Amino acid sequence: MQQTRRRTAGHLFIITIRSIMQFIFRLSRTIFCGLWRFLSFCRGVIANLLLIILIIFIAASWFEQEPVNLPESAALLLDPTGKITETAPDNNPWQLLLRQELAEMQNSPLQDILDVIATATTDSRIKVLVLDTSDLEQINLNQIMTIGAALKEFSRSGKKVIAVGDHFTQKDYLLASYADEIILNPIGGVELKGFSRYRLYGRQALEKLKVNFNLFRAGEYKSALEPFFRDNMSDAARSANREWLNDLWGYTTRQLLKNRPRLRPAKLDDYINHYDRRLAANHGNAANTALSASLVDRLLSRPKFRDYIATLVGAAADDPHDFARIDWTDYSLRNEKSYQNPPTAARIAIITATGEILPGQQPETRIGAETLSKLLNRARRAPEIKAVVLRIDSGGGSMTASEIIRQEILQLKASGKPLIISMGRLAASGAYWISADADEIWAEPTTLTGSIGVFGAWPTFEESLKEIGINSDGVSTNPEAGKASLTRPLLPQQARALQLNVNQGYRRFLEIVAGGRRLSLNEVEKLAGGRVLSGLRAKELGLVDHLGDLRDAVNSAGARVGLNADDAIYLQDEKSTADAIGELINSRQSFFTTLLSRFIPEPDADFSRAIQNHRELFFNLKDPQNLYVDSLLENFAL
């Protein structure tokens, strides 16, 4: 009896303690949750207050700025910074203000540069255009050719373009070659090395990490994933890469020799291939080496350069040792922007599509199937829009997303509105999937396109996990349930299904190209296989209709509907100020990454980009069927 009482008392004690503990836990949770909500509320209030203060500060500094006076004789200083971008201009005033003051300070819009040059061409006050590429970090061949053509038009008006630099990298020099005169600082030099494509190959690393990389592809030249299953470049990829590299370099050198009549092909080749000899002949002086090779016209220090320009346009009002000038960004604020204020109600819509092709909604640095489809649908439904020009700069991405966009393009065409494709630096694989059904395809000579092929990839990590003592096990209602996991091996029947899907996707790709380009399947098969082509070669083979830039494509669209280039307008998502601010906050990471990259040696930066490209393949290119039409050419740079 006494033992029973003790047992009952013990149970009551345990129940009491448990109840007390539960009460304490509930109370603690309530307190901490409430405290967390309070802190979150305070954080939101503080963040909003800081944001409001920031906006007020920026707006005040903006409105306090005095307009820059342009003297009767001045030089236009064109010194683009960061990356040359081709996205549509901001359509929200606050968004424009915030971007200019914050995140986009390191970037230079291509269309703004072209508008500035075109306006300065007819401005009698602008006597000289000074091109300074010192702060230019990223520009592609197409952009160089487009800006170069505008510079040549400026020269033909009787004015002079003078390029200046302390040192010219290859990309800087290719753009500077369009100038009438190139001036180099005696401390600098000129880098010319040709084009190349090198990649990191990690088959052995994956083996050591015990990662099973299951690859499924269709197309002999579809080499996008070779770094995951090879230790070197395959013969097929080597042949294909050499072909388009030679096409691009051949076109570039022809243009370079045209721009610099005193430069001879033999002298250019000798400078590139035997630079050490030429440098030795000039006692190690890189500037004299460039001058003796006719790559530059003068060697002047910065003070002497300023004095020289002052003799052409006059001295600055506040400094007799400097020349009268206006910066291109200040000059741009005075001028009308292209493709923003059409004079007529009837319009040509320009839609820009840049980056990887992904499902759903995506920011402007990527092509979202839903995002782009909405714009195409809007263009189709708007009665004032008579034609559409789709400007593409993409190496491809998700096959499903590409097909969703193509379906919307077919709807647009069925409405009777012409669709013209304008290819930028890159319009390959999934981007070509999207383009094939267009009424016309315009590419630039140095565009990279084609890459008609499909792949699927499924890495599994069961052996890697097992190595550290982690195993996957469980039960399922059906044999296939739970098998599609990165922690479990891929079954033979799953592998076979994936390969069949890839084969079917490839067949579908061939049929789309054959139908859109009015070619037979046999003809398309000879052009496909994942083979990358230059714009020049694609034009010869019938995958592209015309060679030209965005304005050429806009003019062609206008000719079809009785309009001209001035009737075109950028069509883009209407973003609220809150959305714009959110994107700016998210983009700060990109700003600091760009800033940090200036202090990273180039080989390490190349390594980081290679790792980033491979990481994005699996974390960004999400396709519901795990099928991709991607060229992975994003890492090709000058």
* pLDDT band per the 50, 70, 90 thresholds, residue 59: low
State CA 375 to chain mean position distance.
Answer: 20
Question: Which pLDDT does position 470 carry in this prediction?
Answer: 85
Residues 6+ apart with CB under 8 A from 216: 455, 456, 457, 458, 495, 498, 499, 501, 502
CA-closest candidate to residue 427, choices 229, 142, 205: 142
Q: Is the pLDDT of residue 413 over 90?
A: yes
- On the 0-12 / 13-18 / 19+ scale of CB atoms within 10 A, 376 is buried
Report, as an integer, the average pLDDT of 295-305. 97
The predicted pLDDT at position 630 comes to 84
Provide CB contacts within 8 A for 195, sequence distance 6+: 245, 248, 249, 252, 638
Asked whether the predicted pLDDT for residue 158 surpasses 90, the reply is: yes
pLDDT of 426 higher than 80: yes
For residue 184, the model assigns a pLDDT of 98
Strands of 366-428 (E only): list them.
367-368, 385-394, 396-398, 419-428
Active site positions, annotated: 222, 429
Q: Which of 628, 609, 626 lies closest to 200, judged by CA?
A: 609
pTM for the predicted model, two decimal places: 0.83
State the DSSP string of 21-71.
Answer: HHHHHHHHHHHHHHHHHHHHHHHHHHHHHHHHHHHHHHHHHHHHPPPPP--
Domain ranges of the chain: 74-192+295-333, 217-258+340-454+520-573+601-638
pLDDT digits (tens, 9 = 90+) for 30-51: 665 666 566 666 655 565 555 5
Q: Tell me the mean pLDDT in the region 469-473.
A: 83
What pLDDT score does 605 carry?
A: 46
631 pLDDT above the threshold of 90: no
SS3 621: coil
Mean pLDDT across 97-101: 52
| Topology classification of domain 217-258+340-454+520-573+601-638 | 2-enoyl-CoA Hydratase; Chain A, domain 1 (3.90.226)
pLDDT for the residue 599: 39
Over 90: is that where the pLDDT of 337 sits?
Answer: no
Q: State residue 16's pLDDT score.
A: 52
The DSSP bridge partners found for residue 532 are 450
Among 506, 564, 549, 553, which Cα is nearest to 531's?
A: 506
**3-state class (DSSP) for residue 348:** strand
pLDDT of the residue at 211: 85
Q: Tell me the two tokens of residue 111.
A: 């269309």
Candidate from 289-298, 455-464, 607-616 with smallest mean pLDDT: 607-616
For residue 601, the model assigns a pLDDT of 44
Mean pLDDT value across residues 294-302: 97
pLDDT-derived band of residue 19, with 50, 70 and 90 as boundaries? low
- Please say if the pLDDT value at position 101 is more than 60: no
Segment 472-500 shows an average pLDDT of 80
Mean pLDDT on 98-122: 79
Is the pLDDT reported for residue 1 higher than 80? no
List the structure tokens of 403. 């097909």
Indicate the SS3 state at residue 129. strand
- Of 238 and 98, more confident: 238
Does residue 144 surpass a pLDDT of 70? Answer: yes
Same fold, 74-192+295-333 and 217-258+340-454+520-573+601-638: yes
The H or E element that residue 515 is part of is helix 492-517
Strands 319-323, 315-316: pairing kind: antiparallel
Which helix H or strand E contains 146, and what residues bound it? helix 141-156
- Select from 348, 357, 370 the least CA-distant residue to 397: 357
Pairing of strands 454-460, 212-218: antiparallel
By C-alpha distance, which of 403, 360, 410 is closest to 388? 410
- Is the Cβ–Cβ distance between 260 and 177 less than 8 Å? yes
pLDDT digits 0-9 by tens, 347-366 = 999 999 999 999 999 888 89
Residue pair 143/84 in contact by the 8 Å Cβ criterion: yes
- Structure token digits, residue 33: 């949750």
Question: For 149, which DSSP code?
Answer: H
Please write down the long-range contacts of 508-516, taking CB distance under 8 Å and 24 or more positions apart: 509/433, 509/452, 509/453, 509/454, 509/629, 510/452, 512/406, 512/433, 512/436, 512/437, 513/432, 513/436, 513/452, 513/543, 515/436, 515/437, 516/435, 516/436, 516/437, 516/438
Q: How confident is the model at residue 603, as a pLDDT?
A: 44
The C-alpha atoms of residue 506 and residue 103 are separated, in whole angstroms, by: 40
**CATH architecture assigned to 74-192+295-333:** Alpha-Beta Complex (3.90)
pLDDT over 60 (residue 503): yes
Q: What per-residue confidence (pLDDT) applies to 483?
A: 64
What is the average pLDDT across 426-432?
95
Q: Containing H/E element for 458?
A: strand 454-460
Q: Is 11 exposed, middle or buried (0-12, 13-18, 19+ CB in 10 A)?
A: exposed
Question: Mean pLDDT over all residues of the chain?
Answer: 83
How far is Cα 376 from Cα 409, in angstroms, rounded to an integer? Answer: 7
Cβ contact 141:158 at 8 Å: no
Start-end of H helices in 302-394: 302-313, 328-333, 369-381
Query: What pLDDT is stored for residue 106 in this prediction?
Result: 67
Model confidence over 361-407: pLDDT tens digits?
988 889 999 999 999 999 999 999 999 999 999 999 999 999 999 99
